[in-house]
Amino acid sequence: MSTETATQDDLLTAPAASKDARPKLEVRNLSISYSGKPALMAVDLTIYENEIFGIIGPANSGKTSFLKALNRMDLFNPAMQVSGDILFDGNNIRQWRNVYALRSRIGVVFPLPVGLPMTVYDNVALAPRLSGVKAKADLDGIVERCLTRAALWDEVKDRLNSLGSLLSGGQQQRLTIARAQSQEPDLLILDEFSIAVDPVTTMRIEDVLKQLRNEMTIILVTNLTQQARRLADRTAFFLTGTCVEIGETEALFNDQVVDARTTAYIAGRFG
């Protein structure tokens, strides 16, 4: 094996911040196409427990398709074909019979807020209620905790019975984050969460995500490379349907990379 190849392999299999961390998600030879047109090709990566894993790359690089495969959203799109293995806590999600049980363990926050047509309180309390929590005191505690973690409690605590759709765009996005947390997921996926959020609120949510690292694994897809640098323990660079490389985030941003395209993208020379 050449020195160059060894270096590339080291980066593509870079360990998490803790060497004792357990793999949370193992992706093996994952390929995705839409009506036969490739969107993602032969991706291999491992995401560890209690790390923030960043994914960067320009539009149409396969990032969102990757996330859809993790949450089995291909079931809603007959044109989406998925091959390969995705192991979640060692279990292949392609073989899970109860997809709803899988989704209860994976919280997803989309680029634009998707509010439910109900009150702020009920938006957050829905998942706990469905899982069997009935006592109002317990629900009150969950709602306050999740809204606080989403940096929203102080702004809505006096209007919990108002429709969530009446909140501002940035507040609705934070409500979505609170709702995702209310199901107590093992894995939280955020796809460009800050598109509809102002910079000050974005920084507040980033602080929350750093705290949540202690409780769950987080996958952060972002077009803001500096956001990945602030938050991610490791970062993957996707380009034209391939995972170009994976490395410790600071190493990538300090030009310790295998592929020159990674440096060019981080430097803003394309994308």
SS3 content of the chain, % helix, strand, coil (to 5): 40, 25, 35
pLDDT at site 264: 94
pLDDT at site 149: 86
Burial of 186 (0-12, 13-18, 19+ CB in 10 A): middle
- Residue that the structure tokens 């634009």 belong to: 112
Q: What is the pLDDT of residues 155-169, one digit of tens each?
A: 999 999 999 999 988
* Residue 178 tokens, joined: 């609170």
pLDDT at 6 > cutoff 60: no
Q: What is the domain partition of the chain in residue ranges?
A: 119-184
pLDDT at site 51: 95
pLDDT at site 248: 96
Q: What is the pLDDT of residues 136-152, one digit of tens each?
A: 999 999 999 999 988 89
pTM tops 0.75, yes or no? yes
pLDDT at 15 > cutoff 90: no
CA 95 to chain centre: 22
Between vectors from CA 204 to CA 114 and to CA 212, what angle results, nearest 5°? Answer: 80
Residue 67 one-letter amino acid: L
Residue 8 one-letter amino acid: Q
Q: What is the pLDDT of residues 210-237, one digit of tens each?
A: 988 888 999 999 999 999 999 999 999 9
Of 44-48, 77-81, 99-103, 246-250, which range is least confident?
A: 99-103
